[in-house]
């Protein structure tokens, strides 16, 4: 039987590109043929990653329809541009690849989210489809629940915003969430309407593969038999040493970490998208100064430019190291790390869990609030940072919570236990069995 040929296509942000690259590596390891589609703009930005992935994965590109100088952090703009300009080009590209590769035509299309129209293109060409969901399964379950939440009058059908302030439980046994923190609520009306539409097209996919395990989010996974947990992908792809990044990784922080005793350093990182406002940025700097611990703080170049060198005059930073971009997966597995101040993006959450690292949660938007609930209330491997009456997380709150977290032996023990349970699901565990099931389906 010929091995399947996958066309893998992420929505063009790092939090989608990375898990889909990891997924591609796992499929390639099983002998599948992979063609990986990225935008021309991102091809230049992930050049390093592409070079060290070798020849197992073939890269192809299409334009994203935006001008070179357009703001690609404006997600509704990117989503619209892709939807307006890419479908015809994708159709032609698939036909072109299939004409060249007559014996090994594309048999399956795997996408992330926000580009559900791609499944329609594949469907029209007789190609089956799957989604690799790059966020938590509970986020997928919440998008799936949008029609019900509208019917029950919990959210407005036009804006997605709550009709009133309340706490709800999306599924039996899932954590409670304030309706204002539902994954779409901080991303604007345009994004909500797109997501509601996109979730309908995603139904063309036979599988919604989730980068999670059956133990981490059992309630969310039970919502549909199409949800298939295959994570943590990073543990199956053997690529902890590789850097897939838009920014240059500063690996000097590993030498710096090597000079510190076990569990002594506070790691601070907010992923690839979150932007911190100047006043909050200053307060965080002062909070880190107050710690009786060294810290490793990622200040992305784009965030630093935006806040325009906003380190306060009183900031010493003498106990810490600041980098523009870190090799995060290696950092979270380094013995010197004591805890992780995180925005709780799903990739960071999974990486922290696999590193056995206790979390201090500082969510910004999307599924990050849900992920915080899992971390703090369900898995009990972290604490949340509370905002004051001005909506700020104060330097004293940062200092106090770090101390509270590091004094809490139960959280540390549970973090290590959760790591052990999660890693058991890979390499021979349920996640790798699910992956085999998926590959067998793709072969049919």
Q: Which residues bind ligand UDP (CB under 6 A)?
A: 14-15, 18, 245, 269, 271-274, 298, 325-326, 328-329, 345-348, 351
State which residue, 221 or 268, has the beta carbon closest to ligand UDP. Answer: 268
CB of 16 to ligand UDP, least distance (A): 8
CB 336 within 8 A of CB 262: yes
CB of 18 to ligand UDP, least distance (A): 5
State which residue, 160 or 327, has the beta carbon closest to ligand UDP. Answer: 327
CB of 236 to ligand UDP, least distance (A): 15
189 by Cβ neighbours in 10 Å (0-12 / 13-18 / 19+) ranks as middle
Rounded to whole angstroms, how far apart are CA atoms 228 and 429? 13
Where on the phi/psi map is residue 31: left (φ > 0), alpha (ψ -120 to 50), or beta? left
State which residue, 81 or 328, has the beta carbon closest to ligand UDP. Answer: 328
State which residue, 182 or 298, has the beta carbon closest to ligand UDP. Answer: 298
Q: Which residues of 215-238 are buried (b: 16+ CB within 10 A; e: fewer)?
A: bbbebbbbbeebbbbbbbbbbbbe
CB of 48 to ligand UDP, least distance (A): 12
Rounded to whole angstroms, how far apart are CA atoms 54 and 34? 12
CB of 303 to ligand UDP, least distance (A): 11
CB 102 within 8 A of CB 81: no
State which residue, 302 or 403, has the beta carbon closest to ligand UDP. Answer: 302
State which residue, 346 or 438, has the beta carbon closest to ligand UDP. Answer: 346
CB of 306 to ligand UDP, least distance (A): 16
CB of 202 to ligand UDP, least distance (A): 18
* Tokens 């299309």 found at: 109
246's tokens: 């838009």
CB of 231 to ligand UDP, least distance (A): 12
CB of 345 to ligand UDP, least distance (A): 2
Task: Decide: helix, strand or coil at residue 132.
Answer: strand
Which 8-state DSSP code applies to residue 336? Answer: T
CB 99 within 8 A of CB 76: no
State which residue, 114 or 328, has the beta carbon closest to ligand UDP. Answer: 328
DSSP assignments along 341-393, one per residue? EE---HHHHHHHHHHT--EEE---STTHHHHHHIIIIIS--EEEPPP-TTS--
DSSP assignments along 163-210, one per residue? SS--EEESSTTSPEEEGGGSTTTTS-HHHHHHHHHHHHHGGG-SEEEE
Residues 6 or more apart in contact with residue 109 via CB below 8 angstroms: 6, 7, 9, 118, 119, 121, 122, 127, 128, 129, 130
2-to-36, 111, 217, 326 alpha-carbon distances in Å: 19, 22, 35, 40
* Tokens 């784009």 found at: 302
State which residue, 15 or 162, has the beta carbon closest to ligand UDP. Answer: 15
Note if the bond before 232 is cis, omega within 30 degrees: yes
State which residue, 19 or 122, has the beta carbon closest to ligand UDP. Answer: 19
CB of 153 to ligand UDP, least distance (A): 31
State which residue, 35 or 243, has the beta carbon closest to ligand UDP. Answer: 243
């Amino acid at each position: 039987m010929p091995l399947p040929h996958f066309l893998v296509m992420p929505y063009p942000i790092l939090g989608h590109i990375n898990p889909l690259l990891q997924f591609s590596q796992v499929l390639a390891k099983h002998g599948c043929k992979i063609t990986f589609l990225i935008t021309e703009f991102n091809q230049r930005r992930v050049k390093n990653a592409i070079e060290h992935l070798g020849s197992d994965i073939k890269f192809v590109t299409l334009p994203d329809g935006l001008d070179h100088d357009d703001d690609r952090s404006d997600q509704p703009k990117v989503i619209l541009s892709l939807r307006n300009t890419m479908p015809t080009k994708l159709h032609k590209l698939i036909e072109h690849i299939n004409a060249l590769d007559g014996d090994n035509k594309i048999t399956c299309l795997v996408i992330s989210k926000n580009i559900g129209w791609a499944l329609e293109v594949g469907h029209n060409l007789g190609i089956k489809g799957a989604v690799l969901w790059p966020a938590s399964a509970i986020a997928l379950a919440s998008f799936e629940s949008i029609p019900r939440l509208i019917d029950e009058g919990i959210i407005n059908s036009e804006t997605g915003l709550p009709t009133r302030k309340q706490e709800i439980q999306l599924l039996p046994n899932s954590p409670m969430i304030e309706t204002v923190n539902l994954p779409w609520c901080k991303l604007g009306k345009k994004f909500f309407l797109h997501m509601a539409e996109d979730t309908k097209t995603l139904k063309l996919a036979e599988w919604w593969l989730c980068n999670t395990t059956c133990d981490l989010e059992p309630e969310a996974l039970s919502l549909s038999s199409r949800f298939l947990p295959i994570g943590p992908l990073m543990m199956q792809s053997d690529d902890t040493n590789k850097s897939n990044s838009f920014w240059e990784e500063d690996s000097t922080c590993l030498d710096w970490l090597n000079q510190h005793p076990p569990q002594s350093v506070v790691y601070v990182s907010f992923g690839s998208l979150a932007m911190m406002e100047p006043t909050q940025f200053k307060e965080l700097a002062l909070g880190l100064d107050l710690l009786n611990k060294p810290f490793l703080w990622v200040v992305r170049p784009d965030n630093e430019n935006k806040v325009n060198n906003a380190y306060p005059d009183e900031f010493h930073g003498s106990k810490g190291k600041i980098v523009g971009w870190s090799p995060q997966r290696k950092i979270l597995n380094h013995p010197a790390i004591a805890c992780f101040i995180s925005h709780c993006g799903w990739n960071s959450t999974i990486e922290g869990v696999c590193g056995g690292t206790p979390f201090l949660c500082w969510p910004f938007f999307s599924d990050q609030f849900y992920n915080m609930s899992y971390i703090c209330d369900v898995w009990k491997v972290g604490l949340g940072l509370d905002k004051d009456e001005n909506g700020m997380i104060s330097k004293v709150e940062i200092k106090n919570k770090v101390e509270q977290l590091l004094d809490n032996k139960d959280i540390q023990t549970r973090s290590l236990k959760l790591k052990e349970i999660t890693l058991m699901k890979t390499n021979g565990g349920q996640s790798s069995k699910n992956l085999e099931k998926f590959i067998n389906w793709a072969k049919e």
